[in-house]
Amino acid sequence: MSKAEQQHKARLALMGCMACLRIHGPHDPGPVELHHLRAGRGWGKGDYTTLIPLCHEHHRGNTGVHGLGSKGFPRHYGFTEADLLAMTKQLMETCA
Ligand SMILES: [Zn+2]
Ligand SMILES: [Zn+2]
């Protein structure tokens, strides 16, 4: 793992769950898991720039990206994984 990747992941972990942020607004971030956005083609193995921080529920829970699936998730929430990735990237830039 490169140093840039390590730093990127450490910062993602501090940002908290993007789905919770979108739904509840800013709040104390809990522990997160890193979800790899699989939509779209061409991301190589180890491409850490498409990781999204999510809490356990929004990641692997019944109302999470894996529980609902990539079609069910936007139907349930009204935003997509790609929207969450865009938020992640924006936050990365604003707190750089
Ligand atoms: Zn969450
Ligand atoms: Zn995942």
What is the pLDDT at residue 37? Answer: 86
Q: Tell me which residue range forms the domain holding 63.
A: 3-37+46-94
Burial of 25 (0-12, 13-18, 19+ CB in 10 A): exposed
- Answer whether 0.75 is exceeded by the pTM: yes
Inform me whether the pLDDT recorded for 95 exceeds 70. Answer: no
45 CA from centroid of ligand 1 (Å): 25
Supply the pLDDT for residue 59: 96
pLDDT at 70: 86
For 20-51, the pLDDT digits (tens) are 999 999 888 889 999 998 645 555 556 888 99
Number of domains composing the chain: 1
Residues with CB under 5 A from ligand 2 (ion): 35
C-alpha span between 69 and 77 (Å, rounded): 12
In the reported structure, the alpha carbon of residue 50 is separated from the centroid of ligand 1 by a whole-number distance in angstroms of 17
CATH of the domain at 50: 3.30.40.190
